């Protein structure tokens, strides 16, 4: 049996739209065993298990497997696949990115073909449409990525300060990535682009240098959060807390919409429950229930382990 574990992720971190990703200690786990059934079979447990289908093109794990098999011109060996998922679906925590990396990893397991990281990321990005979540899910920690002119992906992993945790506040509503991208304008002001370039660069410098006092400014955004606020009740009020209530928590570093939302993530070195409570109050003021979890940062990325039964 082969076990594949892939972390959740948050992306953008404010200004780094489609460029910055951060892996979180919340996991999609896939167990692969062999079977005589054609095309394999799936068993799902955990978050979203009731809505997941059997082996169809609507299943991202299966789609990623088939995508790689077609690209590599390989017939897949039948397998039984048990999926245990703890990542909330359609909440901006990289559930689709984790599923795609898991599916490509299952392809490797059942085909015996190792995909170099560059090719695996290219396949994943072609399926996902952007590289930030899949890069963090594969590599772990804090990852900066970009697409090249020939369709490749360049991804650079940076070590994450072990004192920083993610305060993850998950509202009881869903936002699909397609919906969140549809509200973005086709054109933006030059000054807003410069604003985000400056802060995205500052974010990378803050992590690389350990200058955590720069992170609050580094997590400001003008390119996507103001437009996505219409999809997330309470978001505008919550982001305003950055200059008011949240700065009174000594451990607070910065706040952002997680990916395309609706989850909100704050980075902090302490005062975690206090910070979570303030963010939750912003959602509840608009009648939206929510919950929070405090997550360390995953530094391993995808992990593949093979277990051999004793004879």
Percent of the chain with pLDDT over 90: 75
96-106 per-position pLDDT tens digit: 999 999 999 99
Section 283-299 average pLDDT: 96
pLDDT band at residue 58 under the 50/70/90 scheme? low
What whole-number distance in Å separates Cα of residue 67 and Cα of residue 100?
A: 10
CATH no. of 165-295: 3.30.70.890
Is domain 2-158+297-306 given the CATH code 3.30.230.10 in the classification? yes
Q: What angle do CA 193, 198, 202 make, to 5 degrees?
A: 145
Phi–psi pair at 30, nearest 5 degrees: -125, 125
pTM comes to 0.92
Average pLDDT over every residue of 145-165: 95
pLDDT score for 42: 62
Say whether pLDDT at 46 is over 60. no
More confidently predicted of 38 and 159: 159
The yes-or-no answer to whether 2-158+297-306 and 165-295 have a common fold is no
Q: For the chain, what is the radius of gyration of the CA atoms?
A: 19
pLDDT at position 55, please?
47
Domain ranges of the chain: 2-158+297-306, 165-295
Max avg pLDDT among 5-14, 58-67, 206-215: 5-14
The CA distance from 289 to 296, in Å, is 24
Phi and psi (nearest 5°) for 177?
A: -60, -40
When pLDDT is cut at 50, 70 and 90, the band that residue 75 belongs to is confident
Give the pLDDT confidence of 131-146 residue by residue, as tens digits. 999 999 999 999 999 9
Tokens found for residue 215? 């992170």
Mean pLDDT of the chain: 90
């Amino acid at each position: 049996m082969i076990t594949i574990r892939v972390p959740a992720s948050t992306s953008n971190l404010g200004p780094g739209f489609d460029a910055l990703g951060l892996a979180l200690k919340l996991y999609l786990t896939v167990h692969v065993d062999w079977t005589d059934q054609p095309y394999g079979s799936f068993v799902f447990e955990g978050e979203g298990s009731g809505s997941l289908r059997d082996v169809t093109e609507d299943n991202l794990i299966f789609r990623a497997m088939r995508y790689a098999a077609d690209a590599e011109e390989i017939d897949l060996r039948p397998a039984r696949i048990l999926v245990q998922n703890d990542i909330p679906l359609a909440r901006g925590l990289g559930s689709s990115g984790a599923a795609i990396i898991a599916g490509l990893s299952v392809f490797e397991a059942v085909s015996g073909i190792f995909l170099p990281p560059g090719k695996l990321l290219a396949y994943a990005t072609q399926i996902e449409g952007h590289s930030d979540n899949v890069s963090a899910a594969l590599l772990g920690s804090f990852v900066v990525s970009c697409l090249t002119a020939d369709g490749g992906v360049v991804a650079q992993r940076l070590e994450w300060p072990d004192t920083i945790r993610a305060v993850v506040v998950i509202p009881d509503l869903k936002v699909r990535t397609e919906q969140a991208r549809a509200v973005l304008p086709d054109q933006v002001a030059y000054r807003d682009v410069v604003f985000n370039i400056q802060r995205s660069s500052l974010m990378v410098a803050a992590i690389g240098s350990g200058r955590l006092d720069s992170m609050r400014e580094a997590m400001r955004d003008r390119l996507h959060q103001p437009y996505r606020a219409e999809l997330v009740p309470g978001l505008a009020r919550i982001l305003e807390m950055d200059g008011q209530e949240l700065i009174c928590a000594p451990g607070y570093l910065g706040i952002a919409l997680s990916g395309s939302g609706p989850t909100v993530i704050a980075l902090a070195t302490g005062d975690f429950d206090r910070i979570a409570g303030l963010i939750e109050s912003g959602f509840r003021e608009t009648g939206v229930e929510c919950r929070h979890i405090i997550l360390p940062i995953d530094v391993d990325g995808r992990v593949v382990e093979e277990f051999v039964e004793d004879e």
